[in-house]
């Protein structure tokens, strides 16, 4: 069954522990943690110190989405702060070698690693890395803000990634992020997605369980 990863970007930070407890009780097994640096994306969210606080009060799997330039410089802090999975952006990297080194580096710390692609980056750009990845994150909006409209270009990408995974026996999970609701989530599931990220759809409602159930 598909995993649901609520994005705490849309949570109420004045009562973050309550929010984390509520999504767990409502059936989420992951937390999606969106880090924005005001440089790679035109918005600033939060860094590793809040992740560290979160890791102390929840046992949910911490899916850390780094929308930052130079992820190599900060990855240690996110690992120390409890990340279960580090996802960085292909577009933030200079060359193939740097991507491979960062994947290896995170693995050596016994943390899972994923790579994300923006809507205009083709899945083929991931070919050199697919065999080593625990997850591929397909962005279905331009990263930077919650509450945007789903871009259907993600659907073809999910399908391609699913086929490549089956043909080559790769082990990565396929995750999609941006504009996910009951309808767009269903379209992604039909293409073979493994993890649905949803921020505003879940946190802007007053019944998290109903929303999470509708995505499963
Ligand atoms: C966008 C973030 C998303 C965002 C999703 O840059 O990566 O994770 O929180 O929010 P919704 O589900 O509201 O599109
Ligand atoms: Zn995200």
Q: How confident is the prediction along the chain (216 residues), in pLDDT tens digits per residue?
A: 999 999 999 999 999 999 999 999 999 999 999 999 999 999 999 999 999 999 999 999 999 999 999 999 999 999 999 999 999 999 999 999 999 999 999 999 999 999 999 999 999 999 999 999 999 999 999 999 999 999 999 999 999 999 999 999 999 999 999 999 999 999 999 999 999 999 999 999 999 999 999 999
Cα–Cα distance, 102 to 84 (Å, whole number): 16
> What's the rounded Cα separation, in Å, for the pair 166 and 161?
9
Cβ partners under 8 Å of residue 138, min gap 6: 116, 117, 123, 154, 157, 158, 161, 174, 175, 176, 177
Nearest atom in ligand 1 to 32's CA: 8
- Ligand 1 probe mutation, 8, 142, 145, 175, most atoms within 8 A of CB: 145
- Say if ligand 1 is within 6 A of residue 129 CB: no
Q: How far is the centre of ligand 2, averaged over its atoms, from the C-alpha of 177 (Å)?
A: 6
Selecting among 12, 177, 194, 206, the annotated active-site residue is: 177
Which element (helix H / strand E) includes 97? helix 96-108
Spatial CB neighbours of 166, under 8 Å, sequence gap ≥ 6: none
pLDDT tens readout for residues 80-126:
999 999 999 999 999 999 999 999 999 999 999 999 999 999 999 99
pLDDT for the residue 178? 98
Confidence (pTM): 0.98
Residue pair 4/149 in contact (Cβ under 8 Å)? The answer is no
**Closest by CA position to 82, among listed 133, 116, 48, 37:** 48
| Percentage with pLDDT > 90 across the chain | 100
């Amino acid at each position: 069954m598909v995993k649901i990863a609520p994005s705490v970007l849309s949570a109420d930070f004045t009562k973050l522990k309550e929010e984390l407890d509520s999504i767990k009780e409502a059936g989420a097994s992951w937390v999606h943690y969106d880090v924005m640096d005001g440089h790679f994306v035109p918005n600033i969210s939060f860094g590793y110190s809040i992740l560290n606080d979160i890791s102390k009060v929840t046992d949910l799997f911490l899916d850390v989405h780094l929308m930052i330039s130079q992820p190599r410089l900060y990855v240690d802090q996110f690992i120390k702060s409890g990340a279960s999975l580090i996802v960085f952006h292909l577009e933030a990297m200079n060359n193939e070698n740097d991507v491979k080194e960062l994947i290896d580096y995170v693995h050596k710390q016994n943390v899972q690693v994923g790579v994300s692609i923006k809507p205009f980056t083709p899945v083929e750009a991931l070919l050199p890395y697919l065999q080593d990845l625990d997850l591929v994150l397909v962005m279905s909006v331009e990263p930077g803000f919650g509450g945007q409209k789903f871009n259907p270009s993600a659907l073809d990408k999910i399908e391609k990634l699913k086929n490549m995974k089956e043909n080559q026996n790769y082990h990565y999970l396929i995750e999609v992020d941006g504009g996910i609701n009951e309808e767009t989530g269903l379209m992604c599931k039909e293409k073979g997605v493994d993890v649905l990220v949803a921020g505003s759809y879940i946190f802007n409602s007053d019944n998290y369980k109903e929303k999470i159930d509708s995505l499963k």
